[in-house]
Amino acid sequence: MILNLTVLLLFQLSGEVLARALALPLPGPVIGMALLLGLLLARPAVADRLRETASALLAHLSLLFVPAGVGIVGHLGLLEQAGAAILIALAGSTVAAIAVGAAVFVGVARLTGRADD
Amino acid sequence: MTEFAEIWSYLAQEPLLWLTATLAAYAVADAIFRAAGRRPLVNPVLIAVLLLALLLGATGTPYGTYFEGAQFVHFMLGPATVALALPLHANLARVRQSALPLLAALLAGSLTAIFTALGIGWALGLDQSTLLSLAPKSATAPVALGISENIGGSPTLTAVLVILTGIIGAITATPLLNLLRIRDWRARGFAVGVAAHGIGTARAFQVNETAGAFAGIGMGLNALLTAILVPLIVGGIF
């Protein structure tokens, strides 16, 4: 468990260092994910070691967004004044993006003969 | 016996109280979510945020004080993002197999998310600073904050808009995709990850493992694409 968390943190750290050193537009953790994927491809046995820790973290992914979400208390003034417009823009845009993304995926999968089994 | 006010003034300065409150609020929210049969509308993030916002309001605690404690939870977003490599690795054969639909859906979903947010917001009269904060809202929180700062939006407002987007995506995805009769778990997960980042991904994992893995990929790829597209689009409009 401790070793596994250390591995995850080391990859995040490498990602942060790379992002800054190369001025990449990506956040460190996303680069860390790509680097870890590279290691898993080279050494598939590592995946078996990390699986339990990763599942435990990902099972409660929702919890990790709560602190940032509570930041809403700092914007109550704007929400009071323009909350309806913001919510309509967010809901309209999110629903449209999910619908378009999923429809394009299914459409292209059919065209290229890669529909799921 | 020590005065309650004294105990409170001690607790209010320590990270322990708000760290505990964050976990407790989430435990309550998750229990409600399970009791409601995991219905998407009873979103655990939404309930936990509401409980904590009410608690901060009732105790007159500023967000900065709250975050001193909650930052330990917030910090775990980093290692959790790295851990997404595992489901991605487990599904890699299917990812390779669906590279074309995946890239097409990424581009379509990302562009739709940015243009519809700006378009609807502009039509409803939102000011420029709010529009700029809104543009990167489908990217995962740390990326969206960086973009917002670079283009002159408000990063803290963007953080809230990102979370709200995730919650809306998590609530609407299942009924919306059922309505559209899209049954392919890859397409369902991927579209939700692109449009609603980590909260959408968390929701996808609750529904189906393949959908969750594809949502994680959608989130990662859209973080990259949004970081490239939003400055270009915003630079062309404003």
Of B75, B101, B125, the residue that ends a domain is B75
Residue A16 binned pLDDT confidence (cut-offs 50, 70, 90): very high
Residues 132-191 of B with CB under 8 A from A: 134, 137-138, 140-143, 146, 156-157, 159-169, 172-173, 176-177, 180, 182, 184-188, 190-191
Average pLDDT, chain A: 91
SS3 B184: coil
Minimum distance, in Å, between the CA of residue B213 and any CA atom of chain A: 11
Q: Specify if B129 maps to a domain.
A: yes
B224 and B116 fall within a common domain: yes
**In B, which residues are within 8 Å of A25 by CB distance?**
146, 224, 227-228
Candidates B218, B201, B75, B226; CA nearest to A29 is B75
Number of structural domains, chain B? 2
What would the pLDDT profile of A70-112 be if each residue is shown by its tens digit? Answer: 988 989 999 899 999 999 999 999 999 999 999 999 999 999 8
Nearest partner of B110 among B17, B9, B197, judged by Cα: B197
pLDDT value of residue A60: 83
Answer with the residue of higher pLDDT: B113 or A56.
B113
In a domain, B81, yes or no: no
| 8-state DSSP, B153 | -
- The pLDDT value recorded for residue B226 is 92
* Count of pairs with CB atoms under 8 A, one residue in A, one in B: 329
Task: With respect to residue B123, please indicate whether it lies within any of the assigned structural domains.
Answer: yes
User: Quick one: B139 and B41 in the same domain?
Assistant: no
Contacts of B198 in chain A (CB under 8 A): 61, 64-65
CB spacing of B130 vs A72 below 8 angstroms: no
Per-residue pLDDT of chain B (238 residues; tens, 9 = 90+): 567 888 888 887 788 999 999 999 999 999 999 999 888 888 888 899 999 999 999 999 999 999 999 999 999 988 988 998 898 888 888 888 899 999 999 999 999 999 999 999 999 999 999 999 999 999 988 788 878 888 889 888 998 999 999 999 999 999 999 999 999 999 999 999 999 998 999 999 989 989 998 998 899 889 889 988 998 999 888 8
For A73, which DSSP code? G
Residue A117 has pLDDT above 60, yes or no: no
Q: Give residue B182's region: left, alpha or beta (phi > 0; psi -120 to 50).
A: beta
Please give the Cα distance from B149 to A45 (Å, whole number).
41
What percentage of chain A exceeds 90 in pLDDT? 64
Say yes or no for a CB contact (<8 Å) between A100 and B186: no
The answer to whether the Cβ–Cβ distance between B172 and A34 falls below 8 Å is no
- Assess whether pLDDT exceeds 70 at residue A116: no
Q: What is the pLDDT of residue B93?
A: 83
Q: Does B194 touch chain A (CB under 8 A)?
A: yes
pTM: predicted TM-score of the whole model, two decimal places: 0.84
- Final residue before a domain boundary, out of B52, B75, B98: B75
pLDDT of residue B43: 86
Q: Is B104 within a domain?
A: yes
- Cα B55 from chain centroid (whole Å): 22
Q: Do residues B58 and B149 share a domain?
A: no
Chain A residues touching residue B102 (CB < 8 angstroms): 105
**Residue B90 pLDDT:** 86
| B226 contacts on A by Cβ (under 8 Å) | none
- Residues in B closer than 8 angstroms to A81, CB to CB, are none
For B131-143, give one letter per residue: b (16+ CB within 10 A) or e: bbbbbbbbbbbbb
pLDDT band at A22 (very low <50, low <70, confident <90, very high): very high
Last residue of a domain, one of B75, B94, B115: B75
| Residue B37 falls in which region: left (phi positive, over 0), alpha (psi -120 to 50) or beta | left
pLDDT in tens, B215-229: 988 998 898 899 889
Contacts of A45 (CB under 8 A, 6+ apart): none
Residue B166: domain span: 86-237
With respect to residue B80, please indicate whether it lies within any of the assigned structural domains: no
- The whole-number pLDDT of residue A115 equals 67
Whole-number pLDDT of residue B1: 56
* pLDDT for res B119: 97
Answer yes or no: do A27 and B146 touch at CB < 8 A: yes
What's the pLDDT at B87?
Answer: 85
- Within a domain: B232: yes
CB spacing of A64 vs B191 below 8 angstroms: no
Mean pLDDT of all residues belonging to chain B: 91
Sign of CA dihedral B230, B231, B236, B238: positive
Q: Do A100 and B109 touch (CB under 8 A)?
A: yes
Kindly provide the ipTM of the predicted complex, given to two decimals.
Answer: 0.88
Q: Give a yes or no: residue B49 inside a domain.
A: yes
Say if residue A7's pLDDT is above 90: yes
